[in-house]
Structure formats: C-alpha cells, structure tokens
C-alpha cells in the first residue's frame, strides 16, 4: 500500500488534466442548454464514450487505483464541469457498484459491460432502491421478490422512485424484500435484464437541480427474472438470511443489507462530486470579485468579500481531504470505524450547498440570473444534502458509530 500523500502522482495528474479538458471543451458549453431541456444529454455521453471517458475500462482503472484517489479525482473534475451532465455520465456507476458490492465474479463480468455499451451504441444503467414510502427508512421497503422454485425464477412486484436513469436504462439493479420478517436485513439485489416484460417507467420527475440527469419511477409488475440474476447467488443469500434470523433470536454479528452495502461504498465518490460543484462556484466568485469594481476598487478589496472567499476555500479543501481520507481507507481495507465515509459525504454536501449560496451572494443580482452559472450550481448543490442519504441520516450514522447506541 502506497504511503499517504496529498499530491497526485504523474499518471493521476495526466488523467485529471484530460478530464478537465473534456469538462472545459464539451461539458461547460452544453451545460445551460441541457439544464433547460431537462433531458439526458446523449450527445455528450457519446462524446465521452468516444474518448474512453464513459467506459467500463476507464472506471475500472480508477476504481482499482491503489491510492484510492482515482474515482474521487474523476468525480471532482466532472462535476466541476457540470453536475447535471456529470451525473448523466456517472449515474451508471451506482448500478455498477451495486453489482461489484453484491455480485459474483461471473455476474460482474456479464452485466457491467452491458451497462455501458460502447462508443457506437451507448447504454446506461439504473440502481433502484428508494420507494415512495421508503427513502431514508429502507426497512419500510415494500417491493417484493418471491422465488418460484419450479421455474428457478424470481418474481418482482413494486414501485421504485428517484431512480437515476430509471426506465431508460439497459440494465436495472433492483433492491427488493425477500424476507419481510427480517426488516432491512431481509433485502437482496437483483439484475433485471434488458427488455424484461413487466418493467416500465413511471413518473419522470421535473427537478430543482441536476436537470440534465434523468430521474424517474420504475414500476415492476410480475417481472420474472432467471434465478442467476440474484446478485451473489441463492446459496449466499440463504446463508445471510440464516445468520440474520439467528441474530434476531440471540444477538450477534451485524448483517448489512444490499442497499446499504452499495451506499457505503459510494459515499466518498458522492462527496467528491459535491467538492467539484463547490470548487466551480468558488472559482466563479473569486474571478468575479477580482474584476467587479464598485466604489472605485475591486470588491475583493473589501474584507466582507475576501473573508467569505477565504472561508469558502478552507471548507472546500477540508471537504476534499475528508473525501480523500475515506477513499484511501476504502482501498486500504480499513473499516470506517468512525463512519468516515458518512463524514466525507456529510461535510462535502453541506459545503457545496453553503459555498454555492455564498457565490451567489458575492455576485449579487448577477448571481441570481441564468446569465451566470452559479445560479445553476446552487440548484445542483441542493441535492447533495438529500440523496445518497440525507445529511440527517449521515449524522445519525456517525452518531451511532461513535456512541455504539441505537440513537433515534
């Protein structure tokens, strides 16, 4: 394992500069248009695929970066470009992480390539966990998966919501209840292959921010999938459920559910996205403060403005360090004993929200218009205290980890 360092190596710097160039040349010029259209920016995804930025190979390389910083660096640069387009490019990754976290080697090799397609035929994937009555409270999930032993098939019924790429995805990863008596420990993840009958798109949401990313309900009506589409396989599921039942009787080891395993693995990456948005807004505000003249001098000469910028930069750097620490711990195999993954997502999300608000304030009336990008960045940042676990849920996870108590 490499020594801890706060400096990217030469290869990482080259990758960062390559992504930054794509963000400058392709993403930023298209950002306002696709935000207004509220549609998936397929041409931009296609351009990313052509250069290898949207591909299984690229994300595998970053995922297995021995320093742990590859994914964090990638997310920050893409979301510095634009959060809505960035999420349309990386949204498939949450489904891929779901397969990596819960699937067998064969399932990883079979399904993840189908999530991305190739440069001539781009595909996307969706991870479906949240439900109308089960967001933060995953134990309230109602989507059921029932095993038909005679046909070796699973039958899925229910409605998922807030699914990135939901309904337009080539592959859907669906979390469902297999044993209602075990609560959140009775969940499992399933692959729904392309064109499976019974899966349809429900409501497409018109959102406050990240509007270039498709978000919709996914409706499952008697969706039949082969037995091998259960991630991890039935033997592993039966063993896990048996342990959960034993623990329910006697206490003992903690058994994670499928959705939480995915979110835990993705939280530092989501934090890195928030860092990218915050950095972008800070840079706009800094440039504006240097060039905007009022009362005969640049407004950055005023302490009220300069101190805001100092606080913004400090919070951004602190958020990045928390993300990098959690990313390094994950690849080093170190447990998040103090909920470091949740810490990184919590602080980075709150930072993005506050920094973008301060950027709007520094730009004054201009910041409130769509002529400047900070208005869009502020709208985009708002989701980072809500999705992938609200800030309140992150605090709850941290508090429970630190205290060892079932805080409610």
Terminal Cα-to-Cα distance of the chain (whole angstroms): 38
Handedness of CA 322, 184, 249, 179 (dihedral sign): negative
β-strands 215-226, 153-164 pairing: antiparallel
Tell me how far apart the alpha carbons of residues 362 and 300 are, in angstroms, rounded to a whole number: 9
In 336-405, which residue ranges form alpha helices assigned H by DSSP? 340-363, 374-381, 391-403
CB atoms within 10 A of CB 13: 12
3-state SS string for 164-232:
ECCCCCCEEEEEEECCHHHHHHHEEEEEECCCCCCEEEEEECCCCCCCCCCEEEEEEEEEEEEHHHECC
**Which entry of 47, 350, 375, 388 is annotated as an active-site residue?**
388
Whether 388 is catalytic is yes
Tell me how far apart the alpha carbons of residues 384 and 293 are, in angstroms, rounded to a whole number: 33
Q: What tokens were used for 110?
A: 């079979």
Residue 393 to residues 326, 346, 351, Cα–Cα distance (Å): 18, 9, 17
Tell me how far apart the alpha carbons of residues 316 and 272 are, in angstroms, rounded to a whole number: 10
Please say whether the beta carbons of 394 and 322 come within 8 A: no
Residue 26 to residues 29, 77, 116, 340, Cα–Cα distance (Å): 6, 13, 20, 34
Angle of CA points 50, 54, 55, to nearest 5°: 95
The secondary structure of 111-166 as a DSSP string is HHHHHHEETTEE--EEEE--BTTBSS-GGG---EEEEETTTTEEEEEEEEEEEETT
Please say whether the beta carbons of 177 and 143 come within 8 A: yes
Could you list the active site residues? 388
């Amino acid at each position: 394992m490499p020594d801890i360092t706060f400096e990217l190596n030469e290869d990482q710097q080259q990758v960062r500069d390559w992504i930054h160039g794509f963000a400058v040349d392709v993403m930023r010029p298209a950002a306002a248009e696709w935000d207004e259209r509220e549609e998936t920016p397929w041409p931009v995804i296609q351009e990313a695929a052509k250069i290898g930025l949207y591909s299984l190979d690229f994300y595998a390389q970053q995922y297995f970066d021995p320093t742990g910083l590859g994914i964090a660096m990638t997310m920050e640069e893409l979301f510095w470009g634009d959060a809505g387009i960035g999420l349309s490019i990386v949204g498939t990754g949450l489904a891929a992480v779901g397969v990596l976290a819960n699937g067998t080697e064969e399932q990883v090799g079979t399904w993840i390539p189908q999530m991305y397609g190739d440069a001539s035929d781009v595909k996307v994937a969706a991870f479906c966990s949240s439900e109308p009555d089960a967001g933060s409270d995953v134990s309230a999930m109602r989507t059921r998966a029932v095993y038909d032993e005679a046909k070796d098939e699973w039958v899925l019924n229910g409605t998922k919501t807030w699914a990135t790429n939901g309904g337009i995805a080539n592959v859907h990863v669906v979390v469902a209840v297999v044993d209602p008596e075990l609560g959140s420990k009775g969940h499992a993840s399933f692959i729904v292959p392309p064109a499976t009958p019974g899966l349809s798109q429900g409501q497409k949401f018109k959102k406050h921010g990240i509007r270039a990313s498709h978000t919709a309900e996914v409706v499952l009506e008697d969706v039949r999938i082969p037995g091998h589409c259960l991630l991890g396989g039935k033997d592993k599921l039966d063993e896990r459920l048996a342990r959960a039942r034993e623990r329910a009787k006697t206490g003992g080891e903690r058994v994670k559910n499928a959705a939480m395993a995915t979110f835990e693995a993705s939280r530092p990456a989501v934090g890195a996205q928030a860092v990218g948005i915050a950095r972008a807004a800070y840079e706009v505000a800094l440039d504006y403060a240097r060039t905007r003249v009022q009362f005969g001098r640049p407004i950055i000469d005023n302490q009220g403005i300069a101190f805001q910028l100092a606080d913004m930069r400090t919070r951004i750097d602190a958020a990045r360090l928390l993300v990098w620490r959690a990313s390094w711990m994950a690849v080093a195999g170190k447990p998040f004993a103090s909920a470091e993954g949740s810490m990184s997502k919590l602080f980075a999300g709150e930072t993005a929200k506050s920094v973008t608000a301060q950027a709007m304030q520094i730009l004054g009336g201009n910041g409130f218009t769509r002529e400047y990008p900070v208005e869009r960045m502020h709208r985009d940042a708002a989701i980072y205290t809500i999705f992938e676990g609200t800030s309140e849920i992150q605090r709850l996870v941290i508090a429970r980890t630190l205290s060892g108590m079932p805080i409610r």
